Amino acid sequence: MIDFGYIRVSSRDQNEERQRIQLELQGIAEPNTYVDKQSGKDFDRPQYKKMIKHMHSGDCLWITSIDRLGRNYEEIQEQWRYLTKEKRIDIVVLDMPLLDTRRGKDLMGTFIADLVLQILSFVAETERRNIKQRQAEGIAAAKARGIKFGRPPMELPKEFNAVIQMIEHGQITQQEGAKRLNMPITTMRYRWKGR
């Protein structure tokens, strides 16, 4: 039996150290700890997939909380069943002792674990939806206040209008115009439409 640890944070700038420390306290060896820095909306995560390929019947997966496994209700349920029933892997969720498949393998234990898993999976997906909703509301409010997102537009070269007129009159090609303006052709076309 090998113990594996799985860590997930939602973005590259988030720190996974808290989860790493919790797994180390459980004796999970560093080479058996896999980290993904992306959303939990689905299980299309490179390190998660790699870890699952290395796991065999009797191994144990340790996670700090169910939302680190994922944030999609149906997919969490599906993965849980796949890991515990098909691959015959035990799972330990550190912040929820009822979600420890090493214990309570009788009918009552399985029932309680399944019930808790459903509730926590629901909560994880609900939180994901709430985060997206709050983010959308924040962006809309910022836009209403006149805040612009993205890079500020590049200042156009002084000769931009003259070069565009040459293109429009067929004197030069768009590729030649982009070269003269020292800008990507897609940017030139975009700015041309917007003037």
Give the ranges where 17-63 is alpha helix by DSSP (H).
17-25, 46-54
List Cβ<8 Å contacts ≥24 apart for 111-118. 117/66, 117/76, 117/77, 117/80, 118/77
Q: Are 91 and 113 in contact (CB under 8 A)?
A: no
**Which residue type, as a one-letter code, is found at position 132?**
K
**Which residue type, as a one-letter code, is found at position 45?**
R
Tell me the three state secondary structure of residue 157.
Answer: coil
Computed on alpha carbons and rounded to an integer, the radius of gyration of the chain in Å comes to: 26
Query: Residue written as tokens 């290395």?
Result: 54
Direct distance between the N- and C-terminal alpha carbons of the chain, in angstroms, rounded to an integer: 66
> Distance between CA atoms of 59 and 2, rounded to whole angstroms?
5
Respond yes or no: is residue 121 known to be catalytic. Answer: no
Q: Catalytic residue among 10, 39, 57, 121, which?
A: 10
Return the active site residues.
10
